[in-house]
């Protein structure tokens, strides 16, 4: 199917885009056809139009289209019969309608540049009065007008959205800059803070749309904060290196002291010295890790040598103490015959012998000490109480006091008799009362001696 070679009325002028063909800013036959906007579905293809409702092709090939302004001649068809010509101009209309549909879809989706969409719609609208197509041109004109007007609104909205986005992106970078400044000035969590600054930088790179001046100013704030953090971190680790070097020197001294003490047999004092050295070790801080680990192995080895020797000595001592406990148990069994009630002097002699042998045997295990000493104390108490009882029973001083009390009783009774004979009743009663008092004291003294 071809058109006649000679231009016919209504044929597009040179330089004017051919309806359904290439237009400024659109694809040509050698370029990819417009495809769906990324993220949006391509509009469904419209059903083919019915060109017979909007135009005709005469038997001589003249093509006409009807619009609200009347009927106009659009060209000539010489490549077939009239029906084929009508279908041809109908397909050209459908192509034009498809381009309008793409512009509508682009506007509805919000994709692309609204200004470019408007320019493309205006270009298509300019071609409609001379377009060599048969179809509802008035409807296409209304749709293009709607696209043009919608593009204006879309452009305003895009401008507003762009400004809002710019403000949001600016606010976010300001937040990130402020956070970086806080980290740079205050944080001592070096690992976590360093990781966070890297995360901020990664996010920073994804934030776009700021004006250049604002973006540069915020970047300088962030960069300055990061440099401040790096300086403080560098200073911290330099000081840490100095502290670790000092700790290494001090720990080397402590290791030397520990190794010197490792062969000591002064168990108690040396154990105390090792405790002091360990406290100093902890207070010295961390040396460089490899050196710290090696020094600790030496210190621990010296400590282990000493305490292993002390434990061996303690085991030997414990065995000796266990034998001592057995020997003291035998002594206690042999002391069962001690009976101060039958023979106080013999019991005293046996107790002295028991005590001498007890002391000569020596120490026993700590857990046996209370039991064994308790049994010895029981024997000592039994002998001591028997001796005290005997002493109280035979105490000559107590007997002499009782005799003196009796003499006083006799003296007061004699005074009472004389006073009564002389008629001094009052004096007699007083003397008898005194005699009674001394008699009670004498009875008590004699009773105490008897109890002993």
**C-beta of residue 298 within 8 angstroms of C-beta of residue 280:** no
**Do 152 and 87 lie in a common domain?**
yes
Is 364 among the domain residues?
yes
Is 131 among the domain residues?
yes
Q: What per-residue confidence (pLDDT) applies to 257?
A: 92
**Do 269 and 358 lie in a common domain?**
no
Distance separating alpha carbons of residues 353 and 338, to the nearest angstrom: 11
Report the length, in residues, of the chain: 452
Q: What per-residue confidence (pLDDT) applies to 319?
A: 87
Q: What per-residue confidence (pLDDT) applies to 39?
A: 38
Is 319 among the domain residues?
no
Domain boundary among 357, 372, 393: 393
**Do 68 and 203 lie in a common domain?**
no
Distance separating alpha carbons of residues 193 and 180, to the nearest angstrom: 9
**Do 38 and 149 lie in a common domain?**
yes
Q: What per-residue confidence (pLDDT) applies to 43?
A: 55
Q: What is the 3-state secondary structure (H, E, C) of the chain?
A: CCECCCCCCCCCCCCCCCCCCCCCCCCCCCCCCCCCCCCCCCCCCCCCCCHHHCEEECCCCEEEEEECCEEEEEEEECCCCHHHHHHHHHHHHHHHHHHHHHHHHHHHHCCCCHHHHHHHHHHHHHHHHHCCCCCCHHHHHHHHHHHHHHHHHHHHHHHHHHHHHHHHHHHHHHHHHHHHHHHHHHCCCHHHHHHHHHHHHHHHHHCCCCCHHHHHHHHHHHHHHHHHHHHHHHHHHHHHHHHHHHHHHHHHHHHHHHHHHCCCCCHHHHHHHHHHHHHHHHHCCCCCHHHHHHHHHHHHHHHHHHHHHHHHHHHHHHHHHHHHHHHHHHHHHHHHHCCCCCCHHHHHHHHHHHHHHHHHHCCCCHHHHHHHHHHHHHHHHHHHHHHHHHHHHCCHHHHHHHHHHHHHHHHHHHHHHHHHHCCCHHHHHHHHHHHHHHHHHHHHHHHHHHHC
**Do 90 and 178 lie in a common domain?**
no
Is 328 among the domain residues?
no
Domain boundary among 228, 243, 258: 243
Distance separating alpha carbons of residues 203 and 169, to the nearest angstrom: 11
Is 17 among the domain residues?
yes
Q: What per-residue confidence (pLDDT) applies to 44?
A: 54
pTM of the model: 0.42
**C-beta of residue 76 within 8 angstroms of C-beta of residue 8:** yes
**Do 36 and 122 lie in a common domain?**
yes
Q: What is the pLDDT of residues 28-79, one digit of tens each?
A: 333 333 334 333 445 555 678 899 899 999 989 999 999 998 999 999 998 8
**Do 206 and 285 lie in a common domain?**
no
Is 312 among the domain residues?
no
For the chain, residues with pLDDT lower than 70 are 1-46, 392-396, 398-399, 448-452
**Do 283 and 427 lie in a common domain?**
no
**C-beta of residue 267 within 8 angstroms of C-beta of residue 310:** yes
**Do 411 and 356 lie in a common domain?**
no
**Do 380 and 400 lie in a common domain?**
no
Give the range of the structural domain holding residue 434, as residue numbers without chain letter.
Answer: 396-451
Distance separating alpha carbons of residues 360 and 375, to the nearest angstrom: 17
**Do 13 and 133 lie in a common domain?**
yes
Q: What total number of domains does the chain contain? A: 5
Is 347 among the domain residues?
yes
Residues contacting residue 309 through CB under 8 Å, at least 6 positions apart: 263, 265
Is 321 among the domain residues?
no
**Do 238 and 249 lie in a common domain?**
no
């Amino acid at each position: 199917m071809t058109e006649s070679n000679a231009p016919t009325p209504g044929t597009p002028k040179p330089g004017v885009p051919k309806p359904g063909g290439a237009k400024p800013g659109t694809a040509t036959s050698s370029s990819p056809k417009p495809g769906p906007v990324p993220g949006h579905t391509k509009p469904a293809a419209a059903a083919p139009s019915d060109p017979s409702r909007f135009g005709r092709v005469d038997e001589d090939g003249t093509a006409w289209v009807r619009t609200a302004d009347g009927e106009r001649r659009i060209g000539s068809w010489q490549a077939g019969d009239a029906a084929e010509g009508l279908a041809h101009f109908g397909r050209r209309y459908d192509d034009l309608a498809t381009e309008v549909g793409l512009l509508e879809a682009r506007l509805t989706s919000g994709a692309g540049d609204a200004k470019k969409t408007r320019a493309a719609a205006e270009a298509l609208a300019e071609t409609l009065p001379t377009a060599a197509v048969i179809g509802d041109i008035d409807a296409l004109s209304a749709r293009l007008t709607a696209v043009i007007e919608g593009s204006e609104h879309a452009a305003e909205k895009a401008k507003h959205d762009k400004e809002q986005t710019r403000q949001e992106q600016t606010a976010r970078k300001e937040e990130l800059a402020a956070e970086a400044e806080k980290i740079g000035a205050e944080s001592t969590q070096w690992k976590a803070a360093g990781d966070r600054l890297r995360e901020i930088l990664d996010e920073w790179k994804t934030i776009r749309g700021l004006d250049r001046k604002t973006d540069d100013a915020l970047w300088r704030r962030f960069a300055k904060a990061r440099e401040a953090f790096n300086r403080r971190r560098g200073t911290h680790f330099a000081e840490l290196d100095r502290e670790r070097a000092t700790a290494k020197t001090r720990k080397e001294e402590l290791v030397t002291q520990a190794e010197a003490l490792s062969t000591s047999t002064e168990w108690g004092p040396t154990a105390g010295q090792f405790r002091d050295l360990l406290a100093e070790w902890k207070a010295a801080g961390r040396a460089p890790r490899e050196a710290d680990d090696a020094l600790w192995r030496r210190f621990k080895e010296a400590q282990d040598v000493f305490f292993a020797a002390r434990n061996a000595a303690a085991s030997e001592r414990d065995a000796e103490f266990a034998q001592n406990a057995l020997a003291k148990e035998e002594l206690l069994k042999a002391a069962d015959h001690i009976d101060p009630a039958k023979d106080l002097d013999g019991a005293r002699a046996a107790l002295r012998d028991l005590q001498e042998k007890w002391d000569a045997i020596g120490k026993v295990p700590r857990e046996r000490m209370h039991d064994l000493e308790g049994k010895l104390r029981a024997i000592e108490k039994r002998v001591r109480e028997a001796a005290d009882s005997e002493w109280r029973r035979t105490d000559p001083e107590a007997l002499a006091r009782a005799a003196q009390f009796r003499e006083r009783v006799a003296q007061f009774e004699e005074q009472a008799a004389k006073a009564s004979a002389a008629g001094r009743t009052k004096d007699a009663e007083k003397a008898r009362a005194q005699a009674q008092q001394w008699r009670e004291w004498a009875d008590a003294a004699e009773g105490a001696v008897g109890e002993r």
